Amino acid sequence: MKIWVPMDSAAKALGADDVARAIAREAAVRGLDVQIIRNGTRGMIWLEPLVEVDAGEGRIGYGAVTPADVPALLDGRLNSLGPVDMLDWMRRQTRLTFARCGVIDPLDLDDYQAHGGLAGLRRAIAMSQAEIVKEVFDSGLRGRGGAGFPTGIKWRTVSDAVADQKYIVCNADEGDSGTFADRMIMEGDPFTLIEGMAIAGLGVGATRGYVYLRSEYPDAIRVMEAAVVIARQRGMLGPDVLGSGRAFDMQIRTGAGAYVCGEETSLLNSLEGKRGTVRAKPPLPALEGFMGKPTVVNNVISLATVPVIFEKGAQHYADFGLGRSRGTVTLQIAGNVRHGGLFETAFGMTLGEVVNDIGGGTLSGHPVKAVQVGGPLGAYMPVSKFDTPMGYEEFDQKGGLIGHAGLVVFDDTADMLQMARFAMEFCAVESCGKCTPCRIGAVRGVETIDRIANGDPGAAALLTDLCETMKDGSLCALGGFTPYPVMSALTQFPDDFATHKEAAE
Amino acid sequence: MVRPFMGLEGPLLPMLHAIQEVWGHVPQAAVPVLADLLNLGRAEVHGVISFYHDFRDHPAGKRVLKICRAEACQAVGGTGVAQAVLDRLGVDWHGTTPDGAVTVEPVYCLGLCACGPAAMLDGRVIGRIDADRIAAELGVSA
């Protein structure tokens, strides 16, 4: 009998390790022949720890399991969810990037290959540099970290650059609240990221890669480091990648708790061992990146999606999506929501469908008040904008941004003035200090919102003006996008700002 | 301790992590050593250490509790839970209890946004926390 118990952080945070220990203990007592596999998560976080049992009739799910449930689980008396692949949440998805996540043993390279792994890299090895770059371009893949820049164009720039050394840098500094897709794939299917980076290396002529992984993710760091060692032992990395005669190797580097290092130029400075301050662009990192050399800086999900593009072909990927947003979006549904987790689907589903239909509305049962999409720098979307389709341009037209596709749901108890204040406070704490609109503006922003709270009638106009300055004058998205949550709160939820004023009067 | 990292490209952060791993903080005495090794000014090394939230200039308590303050945890009552924990321990953010048992730090997102409010105790993640759960984990009476 095979039993899967996730080792994903979210599952562990909800007691998966205790459940795994209880199963091992109980099985030993009963003298049962049980193989316990620690997999990634399927993404149904409200069901974690989600235990799957295969006694010869496929993988049957049980969740959320507690250690006290284990005797009943092994007796076959525990109520099951049925076959996991047949659950509504799973059947409604188009799992391309996350096809293997939760299915395989994350550190079993044979299991990985048995589920389509390395097919993409093998195909890329047979292609020229130009063909690899064209394949990515044709897939329509855009940067999943938030900016949505076409990945193929970035790769072409690096590929065309002439240098003695080029680099692939993976941005795994997933600091945005409401996002956990990077963490999930690194913990649940690390080889797909390594494979994507190896393909990127072949495509642009880079032989070295780095994953800049935030220190807040110790579990992901452990899994990625172990995966790199295995990949090297098995010839997936090293001087002769899968016998291609071409070299690519990589290291995992740990961040040090600075949110701004998720910005690509700060990240590069940090990787070089400097303060994580933002660099002015140009020069683009594609031309002068890590150590001043041409560098591809891509988000985890962008790189982890590359293998499936090469496995199934660019056209297969591009056939999904909406408008200029091609392929799938890895939605992370979070906050005050009944069914939180990761849901991968073609671009195009509306925000309301995601929150109410997929997410099941709020956890508290109260009405939804706002959904912050795209992390701490994303706009608060009111229910009146629930018809907005998930797409880069579609969100932009509604004054929002998709970002890394994290959605944080708030119920009607949320105080939007406090949320706006928090956005400014966060910007002040995390500002790298290089440019004035961000460094000073964020501090003044907190003060100005406090003035609104105290009933100052002129403060709202001042806040609007300050936000304009931050938007136009900041070097990077931290100062430049903090106005999104602040202004969306102010304009979409004026009552929360007026109430304070009237109360003061 | 840091010599194995000399061959790396950009070795300073790995060195600082290694020092903090062993000492629990980055002692002032490490600054000139690192500056010499890497051919940097002492001010530059100090500037790097002080930039990052992770590096401490003095030891933390025996246990380090990080509580998420970010939006997704706020949406499920994280602010109130965090305040209750701080009140119970009698410390403010970044504070250490007088007996040196616990240091409480804010963290902005642990990637546990669908099972918040979230915390991390000595590197171990805990989801759906409340003040009683944290007190039990810390072994302090309610």
**Minimal-distance CA residue of chain B relative to A183:** B111
Q: Which residues contact A161 (CB under 8 A, 6 or more apart)?
A: A286, A287, A294
Chain A positions touching B76 (Cβ under 8 A) are 335-336, 363
The CA distances from residue A320 to A131, A309, A324, B95, in Å, are 22, 12, 11, 50
CATH number, domain of A142, equals 3.40.50.11540
Are the beta carbons of B54 and A257 separated by less than 8 Å? yes
A314 and A325 together in one domain = no
A305 and A326 together in one domain = no
Distance from CA of B32 to the nearest CA of A (A): 16
A177-219 pLDDT, tens digit each? 999 999 999 999 999 999 999 999 999 999 999 999 999 999 9
A446 and A394 together in one domain = no
> What are the helix and strand counts (H, E) for chain B?
6, 4
Amino acid at A339: H
Distance from CA of B10 to the nearest CA of A (A): 4
Chain B positions touching A259 (Cβ under 8 A) are 108
Most A-contacting residue of B13, B49, B56, B105 (CB-CB within 10 A), to test interface? B13
A130 and A83 together in one domain = no
A359 and A439 together in one domain = no
- Residue A341 domain flag: yes
A64 and A140 together in one domain = no
For residues B113 and A331, give the distance between their C-alpha atoms in angstroms, rounded to a whole number: 12
Distance from CA of B129 to the nearest CA of A (A): 10
Put simply, whether A376 touches B (Cβ < 8 Å) is yes
A390 and A274 together in one domain = no
Last residue of a domain, one of A91, A117, A150: A91
Chain A positions touching B10 (Cβ under 8 A) are 253, 271-273, 290-291
Q: Where are the domains of chain B?
A: 3-51, 63-138
Put simply, whether B82 touches A (Cβ < 8 Å) is no
For the beta carbon of residue A123, count every other beta carbon within 10 angstroms. Answer: 19
For residues A362 and B48, give the distance between their C-alpha atoms in angstroms, rounded to a whole number: 42
Chain A positions touching B108 (Cβ under 8 A) are 175, 177, 259, 376, 426, 429-430
Residue A385 near residue A400 (C-beta atoms within 8 A):
yes
In chain A, % helix, strand, coil (3-state, to 5) comes to: 50, 15, 35
Report the residue from A175, A255, A419 with minimal CB separation from B109: A175
For residues B60 and A127, give the distance between their C-alpha atoms in angstroms, rounded to a whole number: 53
Are the beta carbons of A257 and B16 separated by less than 8 Å? no
Q: How many CA atoms lie within 13 A of A115 on its CB side?
A: 19
A66 and A159 together in one domain = no
A269 and A215 together in one domain = yes
Output the tens digit of pLDDT for each of chain A's 505 residues: 999 999 999 999 999 999 999 999 999 999 999 999 999 999 999 999 999 999 999 999 999 999 999 999 999 999 999 999 999 999 999 999 999 999 999 999 999 999 999 999 999 999 999 999 999 999 999 999 988 999 999 999 999 999 999 999 999 999 999 999 999 999 999 999 999 999 999 999 999 999 999 999 999 999 999 999 999 999 999 999 999 999 999 999 999 999 999 999 999 999 999 999 999 999 999 999 999 999 999 999 999 999 999 999 999 999 999 999 999 999 999 999 999 999 999 999 999 999 999 999 999 999 999 999 999 999 999 999 999 999 999 999 999 999 999 999 999 999 999 999 999 999 999 999 999 999 999 999 999 999 999 999 999 999 999 999 999 999 999 999 999 999 999 999 999 998 555 555 5
For residue A120 the two structure tokens come to 């993409």
Are the beta carbons of A273 and B112 separated by less than 8 Å? no
- Residue A101 domain flag: no
Put simply, whether A165 touches B (Cβ < 8 Å) is no
According to DSSP, the residues that pair with A481 across neighbouring strands are: none
- Residue A334 domain flag: yes
- Residue A427 domain flag: yes
A119 and A206 together in one domain = yes
Distance from CA of A277 to the nearest CA of B (A): 9
Are the beta carbons of A177 and B120 separated by less than 8 Å? no
- Residue A100 domain flag: no
Mean pLDDT by 10 residues, chain B (142 residues): 95 98 96 97 98 96 97 97 97 96 97 98 97 93 58
Report the residue from A9, A336, A430 with minimal CB separation from B111: A9
For residue A484 the two structure tokens come to 């999104």
Last residue of a domain, one of A318, A340, A360: A318
A382 backbone dihedrals φ, ψ, rounded to 5°:
-80, 165
- Residue A407 domain flag: yes
CATH number of B63-138: 3.40.30.10
- What's the pLDDT at B135? 95
CATH number, domain of A60, equals 3.40.30.10
Across A363-462, the runs of DSSP E, i.e. the strands, are 368-373, 380-382, 406-411
Check: complex ipTM more than 0.95: yes
Distance from CA of B100 to the nearest CA of A (A): 23
According to DSSP, the residues that pair with A326 across neighbouring strands are: A321
A27 backbone dihedrals φ, ψ, rounded to 5°:
-65, -40
Across A101-255, the runs of DSSP E, i.e. the strands, are 167-172, 208-213, 249-254
Put simply, whether B18 touches A (Cβ < 8 Å) is no
What mean pLDDT, rounded, does chain A reach?
97
Distance from CA of A90 to the nearest CA of B (A): 17
Put simply, whether A414 touches B (Cβ < 8 Å) is yes
Range(s) of the domain holding residue A393: 321-411
For residues A3 and A489, give the distance between their C-alpha atoms in angstroms, rounded to a whole number: 46
A131 and A261 together in one domain = yes
- What's the pLDDT at B140? 80
Last residue of a domain, one of A290, A318, A346: A318
Chain A positions touching B35 (Cβ under 8 A) are none
A218 and A306 together in one domain = yes
Report the residue from B51, B75, B118 with minimal CB separation from A410: B75
For residues A149 and A477, give the distance between their C-alpha atoms in angstroms, rounded to a whole number: 14
For residue A360 the two structure tokens come to 């099941």
SS3 A364: coil
Report the residue from B11, B72, B125 with minimal CB separation from A9: B125
Antiparallel, parallel or unpaired: β B63-68 and B124-126: unpaired
* Number of structural domains chain A divides into: 4
